[in-house]
């Protein structure tokens, strides 16, 4: 009977840990969505997005945000490796964005992205 109690206790602990992990993942998802919403609002002003474009762009950027955050938070990669990873993530996202934006907006989008990378490099150099 004592072994059964230990098993039940272990299962309850694991279940609690799983629920905490799920809550953390849910909080991270919410954070990514919030970050993406802020980015879309900023882009809406810069690119003069329509309501439809904003709605379509939001899930694309929400999907991208945690990937970019993971790269930025990675302490094992060099600056160059991070830059390469960020460019790979951008390359994955760009076709989706290109399908949403007009050619002029997409060109501006590319300029904004390049400026963000440039700013990141300058920030890193200043540290």
Question: pLDDT digit string (tens) for 102-111?
Answer: 999 999 999 9
- What is the overall mean pLDDT for the chain? 80
Residue 49's CB is within 10 A of a number of other CB atoms, namely 20
Domain that holds residue 62: 2-126
pLDDT in tens, 40-55: 898 889 999 999 999 9
Q: Which residues contact 93 (CB under 8 A, 6 or more apart)?
A: 60, 61, 63, 64
DSSP E strands, 1-127? none
- Number of domains within the chain: 1
Which residue would you say has higher pLDDT here, 27 or 116? 116
Q: Residues 26, 31, 113, CA angle at the centre, nearest 5°?
A: 135
Burial class (CB in 10 A: 0-12, 13-18, 19+), 3: exposed
């Amino acid at each position: 009977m004592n072994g059964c109690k230990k098993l039940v206790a272990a299962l309850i602990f694991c279940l609690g840990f799983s629920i905490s992990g799920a809550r953390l993942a849910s909080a991270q998802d919410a954070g990514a969505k919030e970050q993406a919403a802020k980015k879309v609002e900023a882009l809406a002003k810069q690119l003069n997005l329509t309501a439809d474009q904003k709605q379509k762009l939001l899930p694309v950027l929400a999907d991208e945000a945690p990937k970019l955050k993971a790269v930025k938070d990675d302490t094992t990669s060099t600056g160059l490796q991070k830059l390469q990873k960020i460019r790979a993530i951008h390359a994955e996202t760009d076709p989706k964005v290109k399908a949403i934006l007009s050619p002029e907006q997409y060109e501006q989008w590319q300029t904004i992205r390049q400026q963000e990378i440039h700013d990141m490099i300058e920030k890193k150099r200043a540290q």
